Amino acid sequence: MMTGLFALFSAGLLAATLLPFGSEPVVVTYLLTQGPFTTMDRVLVVIAVGMGNTVGGAITYGMGRGAINIWQRYHASSPKPTKPTEQQQKRSLKQAHAWLDRWGPGALIMSWLPVVGDPLCLVAGGLRLPFGWCLFWMAVGKFARYAFLVWAVLAF
């Protein structure tokens, strides 16, 4: 059981990075080949894959935060006039503030979505949204997704 849980954690982690990997086939295969499951077994499956997926989202958030730091350092030291004009900076700042005011870290509850979820975590890091709240909302969305997946597979 422990090896399987580690594999689920790893699958969740890889799926939440920018790598093109889906954890659902791994979870479904595990559920269909390892049964029967007690309630505690189901909870452990959700915890293992949910934690892996949340850690992967946190890594992607960190990549976004690091990328913005590198970009700022490069443009600060660049001899070329690549810095945006003051008007462009104000417009970008307004757009970022509008996005933050509207959604904030709560938008990361959607980080479980395919295609959109990983870039959402990356952008949250780049915008320097509060990590604790981002991690909380990532975990809520990701754990709910896997709880539903486990329930759906074992119910039908």
Q: Got the DSSP string for 100-132?
A: HHHTGGGGGGGTTSTTTHHHHHHHHHHTT--HH
Domain that holds residue 128: 2-155
Distance CA 70, CA 76 (A): 10
CA angle 101, 118, 111 (to 5 degrees): 55
pLDDT digits (tens, 9 = 90+) for 10-64: 999 999 987 788 999 999 999 999 978 899 999 999 999 999 999 999 999 999 8
Say if CB 37 and CB 154 are below 8 A apart.
Answer: yes
Say if CB 49 and CB 91 are below 8 A apart.
Answer: no
- The model's pTM is 0.81
Provide the domain count of the chain.
1
Q: What is the DSSP string of 52-86?
A: HHHHHHHHHHHHHHHHHHHHHHHHHH-SSS-SPPH
